[in-house]
Amino acid sequence: MLRTYARITGIGFALWGIAALLGVWELSLERIVLFLGTSLIFLYAGFGPVNAKELRTIVGGTGILYLISAGLLVLVWAWFSTSDDPEMPKILLRATIGIASLLCAKFLPQRDEQRDDHSSKVQSYATEETASSEAQKARAESLSEDHN
């Protein structure tokens, strides 16, 4: 589910940025770059070779960045804006994206989490097994040296 959220969000940001580049609506160049950059991050998280923990980190971290930037923009808007400034809906949209990403990173299930947990347990078990077999070999060699 989280991987699907990352894919859909990445595609949405890409379409939003491309539409702004084509002039469908007015956006500043900085916002277009922000949307296209965010789409690359979400598309990598959704389609790339990342495990469940990395996916949660990427989606949640992007959500935190969006929330922080929305908070800073609210402060700047409160100090420097006029009453007819249409910037607040854009800031609230940014905060909504941040909150949605954080909530999805925290609560959406991910199919490969159990596989990741299992593979880490298997790897640590294999490491312990290798260490014990090496200890047994060392003991056998020391016993054979004692008999000679």
* Structural domain harbouring 98: 2-111
Q: What is the pLDDT of residues 95-121, one digit of tens each?
A: 999 999 999 999 998 876 655 554 444
How confident is the model at residue 131, as a pLDDT? 58
Whether pTM exceeds 0.85: no
Residues 61 and 131 in one domain: no
Whether 83 and 119 map to the same domain: the answer is no
CB atoms within 10 A of CB 93: 12
Residues 63 and 118 in one domain: no
pLDDT digits (tens, 9 = 90+) for 19-65: 999 999 888 899 899 999 999 999 999 999 999 999 999 999 999 99
**Domain match, 29 and 96 both:** yes
Say whether both 81 and 131 belong to one domain.
Answer: no
- At 90, the pLDDT band (50, 70, 90 cuts) reads confident
**Residues 15 and 57 grouped into a single domain:** yes
DSSP structure string for 32-70:
HHHHHHHHHHHHHHHHSS--HHHHHHHHHHHHHHHHHHH
Do 132 and 104 have their domain in common? Answer: no
Both 42 and 86 in a single domain?
yes
- The tokens for 31 are 């916002």
Whether the CB-CB separation of 77 and 87 falls below 8 Å is answered with yes
Note whether 74 and 41 are same-domain residues: yes
pLDDT at 129 over 80: no
What's the total number of domains in the chain?
A: 2
Q: Are residues 106 and 144 in the same domain?
A: no
The C-alpha atoms of residue 56 and residue 13 are separated, in whole angstroms, by 18
